Structure 1
Amino acid sequence: MNDVFTLLCASNVVEAQRVKASLEENNIFPIIKDESESARLAGFGSTPMMQQVWVAKSDLKKAKSII
């Protein structure tokens, strides 16, 4: 995933969804990664309610200007 996408930000669920909506309004389609859900399903503890917003490397500059 790191070859094509890069981490834009990591934040709480509400903020991550706000960022996602703003990006999508500008034709940037991010990937939301929720490691807490993956950890929960695997039986491990994690920081609850945190998500990462990933965008294509080619969209990074535009995405940063939006957020």
Structure 2
Amino acid sequence: MSDTTYTKIFSGSFIIVQLAMDRLKSAGINAIIKDESESGRLAGFGASIQGYQELYVSDDELEHAQAIIDSVNEELQP
């Protein structure tokens, strides 16, 4: 079993996280979405921020993933 660590590279609304996730997946990067509001709902607790998610990638893929996230952020700038 490998000792892989993950780093948060992005956080935001569900829609933007899904866009970033799609771009990462297209580049062959496996990312993990953390959604505490959904976890809380499933456990029977309320959530303070609905639709807020965090995106994590393996440290092995961090540099490539960060370049993709930077590109997504640039696209979203007005």
TM-score by length of 2: 0.77
Identity of aligned residues (%): 37
What is the deviation of 1:43? 2.3
Pairing 1:50-65 to 2, within 5 Å after superposition:
50-65=52-67
User: Cα deviations across residues 11-43 of structure 1 (Å, max 9, x unaligned)?
Assistant: 100000000000011110101111100111222
What is the deviation of 1:44? 2.0
Pairing 1:1-67 to 2, within 5 Å after superposition:
4-46=5-47, 47-67=49-69
Instruction: Point out 4+ residue stretches in structure 1 off by more than 6 angstroms.
Output: none
The structure number with the bigger radius of gyration is 2
What is the deviation of 1:4? 1.2
In 2, Cα distance between the equivalents of 1:57 and 1:8? 10
Runs of 5+ unmatched residues, structure 1:
none
The CA RMSD over aligned residues, in Å, is: 1.1
Runs of 5+ unmatched residues, structure 2:
70-78
